[in-house]
Structure 1
Amino acid sequence: MAEKKSNPLSEIVFNVIVPSVILMKFSGEAQLGAVGGLLVALAFPVAFGGYELVRYKKYNFIALLGIVSVLLTGGIGLLELDTKWLAIKEALIPGLIGIVVFGSTFTKFPVVRKLVLNDSVLNLGLINERLKENNNQHLFDRCLTQSNYMFASTFLFSSIMNYILATVIVTSKSGTEAFNEELGRLTLLSYPMIAIPSMVMMMGIFYFVWRQIRRMTQLETAQIFKAQ
């Protein structure tokens, strides 16, 4: 039975577009106000994230960090803290994920190994058999280690870019209409400037691993992947 997955379009709508529009267009005193606009905008990603966790029963570290990130943003706005804390928070979340990914390299379960070596997608039995036959198991393990380092670097990129964008875009006092508008602009711009490049990097990592599997096993693509 195929594993249920969340809809990427829904994620963009509820986590990016709707909150950005509310923050940028409905935070004036004539609409929701600065506090009301912030609360309503942040309610969408929190509600969507909670719904996804319950529906797909994936209580993972990254999903929970996402909800915590949104709640921290709300706290910064409601408590009217210095905007430097927003920049720190924006850098901290992907930074923590990157540290976890990097640290997993030194365990028996690197994150990339779990992501890539999926028995429902790959013919792992045949792949492992060929790796042993060609005496390439150690080389493939080294390939996965390198891939894990590269995967961790994508979160480093995200952390640095988040900090820079937050510092440049959000300059108004928190708890104000201007702060909400800038926060909405930050949310909107972070997708094309950070999320998409990060996804491209991750696709490059998966392509690298696939090429190494082909080279080390001498298997064709149709043999590597299971027919869906």
Structure 2
Amino acid sequence: MSSTSTHKPRPLVDLIVSIAIPAFILMKLSGEDQLGASGGLMLALSFPLGWGLFELIKYRKFNFIALLGLANVLLTGGIGLLELDLKWLAIKEAAIPAIIGTAVVLSTFTSKPLIKAIIFNPAVMDVDKINDRLKKNNCVAAFEQRLMKATYLVGGSFAFSAVMNYVLAKWIVTSPTGTPEFNEQLGQLSLYSYPMIAVPSMLMMMGIFYYLWRTIHDLTGLKLEEVLANQ
């Protein structure tokens, strides 16, 4: 069996490697008598960067979101190490979710909308069974309309993340780049962004998933256990 087919999400490991460990390094090990501002930042960024590269290389699967995550880490490191103006950190924090949200909405004009890659895909739902039942009930057009609405809702959730990321970065990170204080505030930003941004965004995505499942149930009569993919 290939490594791509056996790969399973590990959210706890992702949180520890990408958020908890880097935040600890930035907040506790960036003093001048320890690793220093540059050393602490480089070590902290090496964890999410190394983990992201490991996931991409090991499972040999192009992942748009993972690629943006790697770009996010590299940009953060560049802003800190090059000691750029703080405004670029806030812009960078908002840019990543804004790019994803824009891509989701613009993809509706292509043959492969991203909503189908995010939610309505064979790894999450039994797409073939759903499509067969939609055709049988002559509900394909109605489903596509509601899928479009779900797409705009997903785009809205990423717009929320972009705005909140910008506001949080401007509020928390106020010290000049290249200083231990900047590193500590960057660690605080990583910790606070999870409960204040990631959790609400996740709840929004769960609400969108529920809306899509209710749509499928109304149009096909399929139950939840019949809709979900047998993984």
Q: TM-score range by the shorter chain?
A: over 0.9
- Aligned match for 1:110, one of 102, 110, 113: 113
Of 87-96 and 51-60, more deviation after overlay is shown by 51-60
Aligned AA (1:7): R
Deviation at 1:127, TM superposition (A): 2.2
Aligned AA (2:120): L
Deviation at 1:134, TM superposition (A): 2.2
> How does the TM-score come out when normalised to structure 2?
0.93
- Aligned match for 2:227, one of 217, 224, 227: 224
Aligned AA (1:107): T
- Tell me what 1:37 maps to: 40
**Structure 2: where are the runs of 5+ without partners?**
none
Aligned length: 228
Give distance in 1, aligned partners of 2:78 and 2:118.
33
* Distance change >3 Å, CA 222–CA 89, structure 1 → 2: closer
**Structure 1: where are the runs of 5+ without partners?**
none
Give distance in 2, aligned partners of 1:176 and 1:44.
20
Deviation at 1:129, TM superposition (A): 2.7
Give distance in 2, aligned partners of 1:127 and 1:63.
28
- Aligned match for 1:204, one of 194, 207, 212: 207
Give distance in 2, aligned partners of 1:222 and 1:80.
52
Deviation at 1:120, TM superposition (A): 4.9
Q: Does 1:18 align with 2:25?
A: no
Give distance in 2, aligned partners of 1:110 and 1:15.
29
- Tell me what 2:83 maps to: 80
Give distance in 2, aligned partners of 1:47 and 1:5.
18
Q: Does 1:159 align with 2:159?
A: no
Q: Report 1:21-100 matches (<5 A).
A: 21-100=24-103
Give distance in 2, aligned partners of 1:84 and 1:199.
27
Of 8-17 and 122-131, more deviation after overlay is shown by 122-131
> How does the TM-score come out when normalised to structure 1?
0.94
Tell me if structure 2 keeps the 8 A contact 1:82–1:174: yes
Aligned AA (2:42): L
Of 106-115 and 166-175, more deviation after overlay is shown by 106-115
Query: What secondary structure is seen at the aligned counterpart in 2 of 1:172?
Result: coil
- Tell me what 1:7 maps to: 10
- Aligned match for 1:125, one of 125, 128, 133: 128
After superposition, the C-alpha distances for 1:17-55 in whole angstroms (9 at most, x for unaligned) are: 000011001111111111111111111111111111112
Query: What secondary structure is seen at the aligned counterpart in 2 of 1:47?
Result: helix
- Tell me what 1:101 maps to: 104
| Percent of aligned pairs with the same amino acid | 53
Of 103-112 and 205-214, more deviation after overlay is shown by 103-112
Give distance in 1, aligned partners of 2:92 and 2:123.
36
Give distance in 2, aligned partners of 1:43 and 1:226.
35
Deviation at 1:121, TM superposition (A): 4.7
- Aligned match for 1:180, one of 183, 186, 206: 183
Q: Does 1:139 align with 2:146?
A: no
Aligned Cα RMSD in Å?
Answer: 1.6
Give distance in 2, aligned partners of 1:225 and 1:66.
28
Give distance in 1, aligned partners of 2:225 and 2:118.
20
Query: What secondary structure is seen at the aligned counterpart in 2 of 1:105?
Result: helix
Tell me if structure 2 keeps the 8 A contact 1:140–1:213: yes
